[in-house]
Amino acid sequence: MFDINKIRSDFPVLAREVYGKPLVYFDNGATTQKPARVIDAVREAYDSYYSNIHRGVHALSDISSGKYENAREKVRAFINAESKKEIIFTAGTTASINLVAFSFGERYIKKGDEVLITALEHHANIVPWQMMCERKGAVLKVIPINDDGSLNLEKVNELITGKTKILAVTHVSNAIGVINPVKEIIEAAHKHNIPVLVDGAQGIQHGHVDVMDLEADFYVFSGHKVYGPTGIGVLYGKRKWLEDMPPYQGGGDMVDRVSFEKTTYNELPFKFEAGTTNFVGAIGMAEALDYIGSIGMDNISKHENELKHYAKERLEQLGGLTFYGTTANTISILSFLVDNIHQYDAGMILDKMGVAIRTGSHCAQPVMSRFGIDGTIRASMCFYNTKEEIDILCEGIEKVKMMML
Ligand code: PMP
């Protein structure tokens, strides 16, 4: 049973007011709110068994280590990875992509090689590749997007050459909500033996992700966008790549034996987890995955889809709105502009009505450039949002039009 009142009561912050009005939180693309059981799991870690992992023989260290490794197993099961060795805890999506861009680059990229990304990417899936290409003398190539925001898939085969070494693509666009056919893209790349990194920052929380079914070589996401804590994220990588790639950072835990002459490295996944990781964050994130698992990904997708259609219909009725990402295959993100009103003005008026939406380029300036704009208003909804909240957003947009036109 999908009980929206019960679900909302699981999130303490949703009960608060902003400027004396009920909070309408439509900024879930930027970060999600936390259910009480995630907050409790983090509190419990600090309250009752906090101690550094993997390093001690004492009781508390044993409990922390066990909970951390249990969190790894929960992540593995959630994305259906073959082995826990393929689950690396990082600080988040950005950290995971930087790790792969650096380490894969060191191992496999040489002068004149090519890296393929898409025009739908968040800066986090552009800049690390650009930096690596600069370092290695490699070339960054970009799959373009169509007017409806979908990827121009015909160009994929055209852009793949004998020099292409890796393809990086977002599962879902944070800026305009478009869902990419990642399975199809992976299949096309694999025909040429090209590995694929999928940026799952906006994909993992909206539907089932099965990395073995996708055959993704790398799949990355952030804890804070999946109802877990900040500062924790995941890099899933196929074992054959992770075994072969050199470590990214050096330090404690990632080593086997250290001497001044030579250091040997720890086995997976620890080879890529230098220093004290955010183990409390990992424990909190695993609790969040358990929580959304208990609601059911199908129930989540169904509710979010209903919200998206309702919001689109209601907003369209207001008139004067231009939507970006109009292809049918999208998540519950609506990205739009109202007449010729600047998005920041709209955002400020909506804020005073208790409605939290995001304005600007959403860390995806090339997407905005593609459409000849410098930003949009983005309402990103998730399973704890309601149609009543969408009605409040619509009242807000009407007010924006009244005040600004
Ligand atoms: N990729 C996408 C598609 C995103 O939406 C985001 C966050 N907005 C990121 C990468 C970066 O995630 P983080 O800031 O958690 O590292």
Q: Does the beta carbon of 124 sit less than 6 angstroms from any atom of ligand 1?
A: yes
Residue 405 is predicted with a pLDDT of: 86
Q: Where in the chain is the domain with CATH 3.90.1150.10?
A: 4-30+296-404
- Does residue 174 have its Cβ closer than 6 Å to ligand 1? yes
Out of 174, 209, 230, 330, give the residue to mutate to test ligand 1, the one with the largest number of ligand atoms within 8 Å of its CB: 174
170 in ligand 1 pocket by Cβ < 6 Å? yes
Ligand 1 centre from 278 Cα, in Å?
18
191's tokens? 């025909």
The per-residue pLDDT string of the chain (405 residues; one tens digit each, 9 = 90 and over) reads 899 999 999 999 999 999 999 999 999 999 999 999 999 999 999 999 999 998 778 999 999 999 999 999 999 999 999 999 999 999 999 999 999 999 999 999 999 999 999 999 999 999 999 999 999 999 999 999 999 999 999 999 999 999 999 999 999 999 999 999 999 999 999 999 999 999 999 999 999 999 999 999 999 999 999 999 999 999 999 999 999 999 999 999 999 999 999 999 999 999 999 999 999 999 999 999 999 999 999 999 999 999 999 999 999 999 999 999 999 999 999 999 999 999 999 999 999 999 999 999 999 999 999 999 999 999 999 999 999 999 999 999 999 999 998
Which residue out of 32, 97, 122, 221 has the highest number of ligand 1 atoms within 8 Å of its CB and is therefore the one to mutate? 122
**CB of 98 shorter than 6 A to ligand 1:** no
Long-range CB contacts (within 8 A, 24+) of 372-376: 373/324, 373/337, 375/343, 375/344, 376/175, 376/176, 376/324, 376/335, 376/336, 376/337, 376/343
Residue type, 298: D
* Position 327, amino acid: T
Shortest-distance Cα residue to atom 6 of ligand 1: 201
Predicted confidence at residue 353, as pLDDT, reads: 97
Tell how far the Cα of 201 is from the centroid of ligand 1, in angstroms: 5
Predicted pLDDT at 55: 76
- Angle at CA 385, nearest 5°, toward 148 and 313? 40
CATH fold, domain 4-30+296-404, is Aspartate Aminotransferase, domain 1 (3.90.1150)
Closest CA to ligand 1's atom 8: 30
Query: Is 363 considered catalytic here?
Result: yes
Q: Which fold has domain 39-293?
A: Aspartate Aminotransferase; domain 2 (3.40.640)
- Per-residue model confidence (pLDDT) at position 1: 83
Cβ contacts of residue 173 below 8 Å, gap of 6+?
Answer: 120, 149, 180, 202, 325, 333, 364, 367
Per-residue confidence (pLDDT) for residue 167, from 0 to 100:
98
What is the pLDDT at residue 207? 96
Q: Is 222 in the pocket of ligand 1 (CB under 6 A)?
A: yes
Which numbered atom of ligand 1 lies nearest the CA of 124? 10
Considering the chain, tell me which residue range(s) the CATH 3.40.640.10 domain(s) occupy: 39-293
Distance 168 CA to ligand 1 centre (A): 14
